[in-house]
Amino acid sequence: MKMKITIKDIARIAKVSHTTVSRALNNKSRIHPQTKEKILSIARELNYQPNFFARSLVTKRTKILGLVITTIANPFYTELAQGIETTARSLGYNIILCSTDYELSNEKQNIDMLRSKGVDGIIFTSAHIGDPNIIELAEEGFPMILVNRRTYHPTVREKVDYVGVDNIFGGFLAVEHLIRLGHERIGIIGGSSESSVGFERLEGGKKALETYGLEAREDYFLEGDFLKESGYQGGKRFLRMDKPPTAIFATNDYMALGTYQAIVEEGVRIPEEIALVGFNDIEFTSMRGIDLTTVGQKKYEMGALAVKKLVERIKGEGTESSKEVILEPELIIRRTCGFHLKGYQIEPKGDRPTSIVHRLRYEEGIL
């Protein structure tokens, strides 16, 4: 049976103390570069594997983070998780991934499991607006960060950091874009009203209608669940109305894909007879034949920022009060909106660049 190599074995071969070996392996200062390189070379030759459990008993840290998402079915989380995992690895942390399937009971089980593993902190992308699990952790002071979705509870807002996109402005951009293309009957397929992103993107869309003086018809607002099937069912329902929308904003790309399928099945042409816009700019949206107009958000950057901020909290380098990092959304125009056919029919007022007009209208007229 092959014996496990220990720090003492490396110290004996290198003819140094085990404290010196520990400093070299943990990249600490106060060690001569040649000695450090000699120790690392021996460790590589012997295929040394550190005992993380033993280390955690000394440091009180496991260098493991939990990542809780809603579902692995949505490609958005794959791209977000890449930024999280890559950044965590660069900082010396490992990730344990869990999914909730949108259920608070599953989220609670995930939390209990992660804490039993001794994780140093948890990254949540699964938060409900009034999430009791996250509220409980916030009141306890457990290290965590919310990404993409947030909880509006005052204790969480006060104590827990958040990284996300400006969802209200993103929803505003999507619907304003359709209005400027000449559409007055715009259907919106929202996400779950239990999630902040679903609520905020819908609010942004409604504010765009209000800003341009268009009627906000309740039958043109449908609630989905951010999954493809709800987009498909929403698209079918819209198209079978006596007076269907001429444009649809699905508040995430996965639902937009389902909507796209429903439109094609009904024999309606995109974008000649109906325009379609999504949100997230996940990888498939730019594929030839899809060419989905969407609102992009920096998914990799969101994930990377979340890890960095959480690690700062774990190390005690963060401030006591919470911080929000809100990234700017970007309107990405492709073929499904029909811009290439006729361009804008309604131009913004004034001579300022369009992007500035968008932002000023949003800030001055909405919030």
pLDDT digits (tens, 9 = 90+) for 33-78: 888 888 888 888 888 766 654 554 455 678 999 999 999 888 899 8
CA distance 205 to 345: 19
**Regarding predicted confidence, which is higher, 191 or 47?**
191
Return the CATH number at 19: 1.10.260.40
276 in the same domain as 160: no
Q: What is the pLDDT of residues 312-367, one digit of tens each?
A: 999 887 666 778 999 999 999 999 999 999 899 887 644 444 554 454 444 444 33
CA distance 126 to 320: 24
272 in the same domain as 171: yes
In a domain, 55, yes or no: no
Domain span at 69: 61-164+300-326
Distance (Å) of CA 39 to CA 45, 52, 93: 10, 19, 22
Q: Which helix (H) or strand (E) holds 37?
A: helix 33-45
Q: What is the pLDDT of residue 210?
A: 93
Please report the sign of the dihedral spanned by the C-alpha atoms of residue 202, residue 342, residue 334, residue 337.
positive
List the one residue out of 65, 138, 101 whose CA is nearest residue 307.
65
110 in the same domain as 24: no
List the one residue out of 90, 276, 280 whose CA is nearest residue 198.
280
Number of domains in the chain: 3
33 in the same domain as 65: no
In a domain, 355, yes or no: yes
In a domain, 56, yes or no: no
In a domain, 150, yes or no: yes
In a domain, 1, yes or no: no
Return the CATH number at 86: 3.40.50.2300
Q: What is the pLDDT of residues 264-294, one digit of tens each?
A: 999 999 999 999 999 999 988 999 999 999 9
CA distance 169 to 367: 10
CA distance 146 to 224: 22
73 in the same domain as 27: no
Mean pLDDT of all residues belonging to the chain: 88
176 in the same domain as 271: yes
341 in the same domain as 200: yes
